[in-house]
């Protein structure tokens, strides 16, 4: 039987693949001890964010090989709390997240990821202070609607067969590939840097149309998308729906119509985008004319 191992994914990016660390042998013993749930301090999931966010979203821990009985087969850690389908308990070492975020290999930048962990903790404090658990906003009608825009159907994407393997680019293009699609890869012209001047032409190579002057207006054909950048860290995409609102899919997490402040997204230029501080451009997706991978 395969030896015991633990795989930890730092869930922080939206467009590119997340950093992964593997532990086995002696390193496994130490990490398993630090991951032990403190069952004396059972805690309800109150205070745990109910929406995906841009930036740090926790550690995804998965066992393989000979199982460590004291640990669940798979769970998420957020702010020192181990979270599963029916439990939320503190782990033995609350500083594990900080250490893991600082252990990422090149080309990832440990300082950037640790900064996102810190900002995530501040966001959690805000939500807990205001007892935030998702916003219930009364419907209202926008004057601007997008006849050709896709319908907001998160249930289609938020299932185990689609959600983990399709990212923000897949969702923005309304194009399932199960490959965590990257701008330009299908055309053999993938971006070479995580900057607007590099990612934008890569998307154009996939047959997206630059529409920098759209100013949040719906195109006569196809639907409007928006590209934003975490400088030298990652890219992210939004799409405008038929109802005039914008929605997005942060990496392997669920589709949402809310920004990092829990607000509906009327304009991605003014939404809380977390670390994705550079708004690059609007683009148009012509249905049936693009190819991504």
pLDDT in tens, 111-134: 999 999 999 988 887 777 765 555
Q: Are residues 215 and 268 in the same domain?
A: yes
User: Does some domain include residue 271?
Assistant: yes
Q: Are residues 11 and 74 in the same domain?
A: yes
Q: Are residues 178 and 215 in the same domain?
A: yes
Q: Are residues 165 and 72 in the same domain?
A: no
User: Does some domain include residue 47?
Assistant: yes
Q: How confident is the model at residue 48 (pLDDT cuts 50, 70, 90)?
A: low
pLDDT at 137: 44
Q: Are residues 125 and 161 in the same domain?
A: no
pLDDT at 2: 79
Chain centre distance of CA 257: 13
Domain that holds residue 243: 154-285
- Domain-ending residue, one of 96, 129, 162: 129
Q: What is the mean pLDDT of residues 218-239?
A: 97
Query: How does 231-270 read in b/e, with b if 16+ C-beta sit within 10 Å?
Result: eebbbbbbbbbebbbbbbbbbbbebbbbbbebeebbebee
Q: Are residues 162 and 208 in the same domain?
A: yes
Residue pLDDT, tens place only, 150-208: 999 999 999 999 999 999 999 999 999 999 999 999 999 999 999 999 999 999 999 99
Q: Are residues 162 and 216 in the same domain?
A: yes
Q: How far apart are CA 147 and CA 72, in angstroms?
A: 47
- Domain-ending residue, one of 77, 94, 129: 129
User: Does some domain include residue 36?
Assistant: yes
User: Does some domain include residue 141?
Assistant: no
- Domain-ending residue, one of 84, 112, 129: 129
User: Does some domain include residue 148?
Assistant: no
pLDDT at 138: 42
Q: Are residues 88 and 201 in the same domain?
A: no
Residue 101 has pLDDT above 90, yes or no: yes
**Most confident stretch, 39-43, 81-85, 139-143, 226-230:** 226-230
Task: Work out how many domains the chain is built from and give that number.
Answer: 2
Q: Are residues 98 and 206 in the same domain?
A: no
Q: Is 111 exposed, middle or buried (0-12, 13-18, 19+ CB in 10 A)?
A: exposed
Q: Are residues 164 and 274 in the same domain?
A: yes
User: Does some domain include residue 125?
Assistant: yes
Q: Is 228 left (phi over 0), alpha (psi -120 to 50) or beta?
A: beta
User: Does some domain include residue 146?
Assistant: no
User: Does some domain include residue 73?
Assistant: yes
Q: Are residues 162 and 121 in the same domain?
A: no
Q: Are residues 192 and 111 in the same domain?
A: no
Q: What is the mean pLDDT of residues 244-248?
A: 96
């Amino acid at each position: 039987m395969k030896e015991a191992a633990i795989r930890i994914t730092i869930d922080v990016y939206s467009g590119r693949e997340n950093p992964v660390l593997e532990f086995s042998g002696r390193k496994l013993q130490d990490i398993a001890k630090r991951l032990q749930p403190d069952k004396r301090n059972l805690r309800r999931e109150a205070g745990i964010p109910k929406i995906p966010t841009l930036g740090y979203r926790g550690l995804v821990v998965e066992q393989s090989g000979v199982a460590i009985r004291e640990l669940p087969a798979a769970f998420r850690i957020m702010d020192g709390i181990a979270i599963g389908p029916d439990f939320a308990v503190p782990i033995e070492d609350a500083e594990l997240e900080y250490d893991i975020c600082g252990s990422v290999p090149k080309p990832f930048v440990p300082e950037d990821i640790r900064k996102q962990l810190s900002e995530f903790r501040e966001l959690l404090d805000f939500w807990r202070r205001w007892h935030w658990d998702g916003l219930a906003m009364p419907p209202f009608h926008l004057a601007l609607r997008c006849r050709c825009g896709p319908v907001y159907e998160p249930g289609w994407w938020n299932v185990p067969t689609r959600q983990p393997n399709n990212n923000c680019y897949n969702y923005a293009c309304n194009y399932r590939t199960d490959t965590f699609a990257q701008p330009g890869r299908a055309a053999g012209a993938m971006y070479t840097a995580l900057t607007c001047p590099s990612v934008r032409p890569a998307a154009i190579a996939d047959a997206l149309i630059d529409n920098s002057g759209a100013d949040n207006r719906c195109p006569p054909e196809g639907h409007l998308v928006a590209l934003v950048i975490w400088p030298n860290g990652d890219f992210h995409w939004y799409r405008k729906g038929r109802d005039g609102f914008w929605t997005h899919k942060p990496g392997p997490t669920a589709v949402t119509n809310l920004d990092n402040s829990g607000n509906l997204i009327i304009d991605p230029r003014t939404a809380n985008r977390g670390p994705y501080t550079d708004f690059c451009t609007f683009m148009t997706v012509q249905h049936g004319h693009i190819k991504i991978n």
